[in-house]
Structure 1
Amino acid sequence: MTEMTPRQVAAKALSLLDLTNLADDCDAAAIETLCAQAVTPFGHAAAICIWPRFVAQARGTLGPNSAVKIATVVNFPSGDLPVETVVAEARQAIADGADEIDLVIPYKALLAGDEAAVRTMVTAVRDVCAPPVLLKTILETGELKDPGLIRNASHIAISAGSDFIKTSTGKVPVNATLEAADIMLNAIRESGRNVGFKPAGGVRTVGDATLYLNLAATIHGPDWAIPSTFRFGASGLLNDILAMLDGRGHSTSASAY
């Protein structure tokens, strides 16, 4: 396998980026900025990932047939809302124009041994995500901690109909890690299903992105990571990607996501 140059990694990472603003103080102006940032001179991000209340605005800004998808979050970030509330959130977001739903599983219930709660939640939200809407399930691996539990959560989410499994909300002390990524990528391989992977939270540089892409290539092959199978959930990563692509080298970002 030919190793990609940092610039090639940057270009690939841009195409896989869910450019994210889930800040508590996000407002309409920030959404306008995010939509503009998602389209660069070097290509466009895969998606923007935003709070549900901004989906309709983003759809109006990007237009009905934008190459940049709109992802939004439900049951976020706590993971402990009632199923009917989460289903209503998802249904409304899709009606407002969301292309992708990022669902936090009830990970606290799973920690307490309740696997059925996870399966019930994912299945219920899957039922309202009619194709081509994608369902990406957030496992909150930094809270699950135990490798066996992360693997189990991955398999439950996959078997219940997830299109992607995602590490984190970005709202807890430990977010994406290579250790969790390894477990989740292997769970996808073990499942035999065409399911994608999304590390989120803490992926800030092209160097970080390289580590995750190399891991995915090792487990699934060099051509596996494309927008339909791999996303980065990040905000600050875009700064480093653009710095690399326009020849400025690496930038730094204080972003927490």
Structure 2
Amino acid sequence: MGRDVHADDEQLARRAIGLLDLMALNAQDTEQRIIGMCQRALTPLGAVAAVCVYPRFVLLARTTLDRLRTPDIRVVAAVNFPYGSANIESAASETRAAVMAGADEIDVVYPFRTQLCGDQQTGMDLVAACREASGPNTRLTVTLETGDLRDPQIILDASRSAILSGADFIKTSTGKAVVSATPQAARIMLESIAEVGGQVGVKFAGGIRTFEDAKVFLSMAQARFGPHWVTADRVRLGASSLLDDLLIHLGVLAPGPYGNSY
């Protein structure tokens, strides 16, 4: 008897909801938008993994989620975002402030331009400084902006540097670059994670808008490490617009411009 592909897809789509990091990372974001995102984070099919905001919105996001009685949804603070400055003290200072405001996780953009110039040490020092500033109980994501790094060897070097310097997750993209997440970059990052026995997680972000997009990356993670590895502790999907597509795919939302009012 053959496998039920539809049932497999439905199971994967449901799982994907619990792997989502919803993001509000636009300059024009308002308090109302942050509150609205936190409300969307608790879906009819369960909660997403996290919401990701600028440090100035961390306290609001945490307070809103607690009022909604969803303490397990994590608040991620994006620091050194989106340009990946090489200013180590600035990134560390942002990290400390975000943790004090209640961030559960820090997402720091790797200084990818210095890496492109052949300077690997600055990136390692910046990640290490943010690792120290975040403390032992706050998980650290390092966003590599792989679309700008481009070269497979440079992506591999940056992935290894981030892991060596204390990353808990490595992430494909800020979503602000011209080229975002690609299967090639994801494959290289997964390989670097395999080098440390799968003890570091991966976040796929940038241009992932549909279930079919997400399925490509989730299938790669499952193929490399097995389905039991694909949990919110090891895999995330940084993609706000993906949520509606997943809910439409699962029959919770109707397609169309008014479909997102569940």
Scaled by the length of structure 2, the TM-score of the pair is 0.91
2:248 corresponds to: 243
> Which of 63, 67, 88 is the matching residue for 2:66?
63
Secondary structure at the counterpart of residue 202 of structure 2:
strand
Residues 19-34 of structure 1 aligned to structure 2 (within 5 Å): 19-34=22-37
Answer yes or no: is 1:48 the counterpart of 2:51.
Answer: yes
Cα contact 2:86–2:122 (8 A) shared by 1: no
Aligned mates of 1:96, 1:43 — CA distance in 2: 26
Deviation for aligned residue 1:6: 2.3
Answer yes or no: is 1:17 the counterpart of 2:20.
Answer: yes
1:143 corresponds to: 148
Answer yes or no: is 1:202 the counterpart of 2:203.
Answer: no
Deviation for aligned residue 1:132: 2.4
Aligned mates of 2:19, 2:154 — CA distance in 1: 27
How many residues in Structure 1 have an aligned counterpart in Structure 2? 251
Deviation for aligned residue 1:222: 2.0
Deviation for aligned residue 1:121: 0.4
| CA distance 1:23–1:167, change in 2 (3 Å) | same
Secondary structure at the counterpart of residue 63 of structure 1:
helix
1:107 corresponds to: 112
**CA-to-partner distance for each residue in 1:36-89, whole Å, 9 max, x for gaps?**
000011000000011111111111111287111000111111111511111110
- 1:233 maps to a residue whose letter is G
- 2:33 maps to a residue whose letter is A
Aligned mates of 1:172, 1:23 — CA distance in 2: 14
Aligned mates of 2:215, 2:115 — CA distance in 1: 31
Unaligned ranges ≥5, structure 1: 253-257
Answer yes or no: is 1:134 the counterpart of 2:134.
Answer: no
Aligned mates of 1:244, 1:18 — CA distance in 2: 19
Aligned mates of 1:45, 1:140 — CA distance in 2: 24
Secondary structure at the counterpart of residue 169 of structure 1:
coil
Cα contact 2:187–2:220 (8 A) shared by 1: yes
| CA distance 1:73–1:140, change in 2 (3 Å) | same
2:260 corresponds to: none
Secondary structure at the counterpart of residue 187 of structure 1:
helix
Superposed CA RMSD in Å reads 1.7
Residues 204-219 of structure 1 aligned to structure 2 (within 5 Å): 204-219=209-224
- 2:193 maps to a residue whose letter is I
Scaled by the length of structure 1, the TM-score of the pair is 0.93
Cα contact 1:137–1:162 (8 A) shared by 2: yes
Cα contact 1:90–1:125 (8 A) shared by 2: yes
Secondary structure at the counterpart of residue 186 of structure 2:
helix
1:255 corresponds to: none
Aligned mates of 1:192, 1:220 — CA distance in 2: 9
Unaligned ranges ≥5, structure 2: 258-262
Deviation for aligned residue 1:251: 6.8
Aligned mates of 1:193, 1:237 — CA distance in 2: 26
| CA distance 1:242–1:251, change in 2 (3 Å) | farther
Cα contact 2:110–2:142 (8 A) shared by 1: yes
Secondary structure at the counterpart of residue 23 of structure 1:
coil
**CA-to-partner distance for each residue in 1:88-123, whole Å, 9 max, x for gaps?**
100000111110100011110000000100110010
Aligned mates of 2:155, 2:86 — CA distance in 1: 21
Cα contact 2:86–2:123 (8 A) shared by 1: no
Residues 155-194 of structure 1 aligned to structure 2 (within 5 Å): 155-194=160-199
Secondary structure at the counterpart of residue 195 of structure 2:
helix
Structure with more relative contact order (C-alpha pairs < 8 Å, separation 6 or more) = 1
Aligned mates of 1:250, 1:214 — CA distance in 2: 25
Cα contact 2:198–2:225 (8 A) shared by 1: no
